[in-house]
Amino acid sequence: MSEDTDRIIRIFGSKEFPNEDSIGRFMDIELKHMSTPYIGRAEVMTFGLRDALLRKGDPGRRRYLGFYLLALDNYDPRRATKFTVNGTEISYETLLKWMRFELYLEPYQFPKWISEGCESAHAQEGKP
């Protein structure tokens, strides 16, 4: 199976973001058209596994802000008129603030069994 993430948005210390450090923060975004605003089973399993591992590596959520499912009625955001993040409709202004890390939105919630599977696989290997 092969899956790809459509966007990884990262901000780091620069003229535009002077309060960020040089490593920065990032979030994964999967883009979908409004006609199919969901991810399928293979994507849930693949993206969920990666999300669980990234969360485990950054439990304080200092760097990795999460996975998001962004659906638009036009793939060109400047021409789109409807936006949802994880199934919740937002305005264009909210979309811009969120993508500039000025606004927090709750990340996508994958089934708990995926993260629990990561934990149990780690425990079976005898590692902390």
Supply the mean pLDDT for the chain.
90
Residue 91 falls inside a structural domain: yes
Tell me whether residue 54 is in a domain.
yes
Domain count within the chain: 1
Q: Residue 49 pLDDT > 60, yes or no?
A: yes
In a domain, 46, yes or no: yes
Q: What is the pTM of this model?
A: 0.87
pLDDT at 121 over 90: no
Q: How far is CA 75 from CA 6, 53, 88, 91, 116, in A?
A: 11, 29, 17, 15, 34
In a domain, 47, yes or no: yes
Task: Starting at the earlier edge strand, list the strands of the sheet with 7-11.
Answer: 7-11, 25-33, 64-72, 83-85, 88-90
- pLDDT tens-digit map of 30-41: 999 999 999 999
Q: Which helix (H) or strand (E) holds 26?
A: strand 25-33
For residue 127, being part of any structural domain is answered with: no
Asked whether residue 121 is domain-assigned, the answer is no
**Residue span of the structural domain in which 39 resides:** 7-108
Question: Left, alpha or beta for 21 (phi > 0: left; psi -120 to 50: alpha)?
Answer: beta
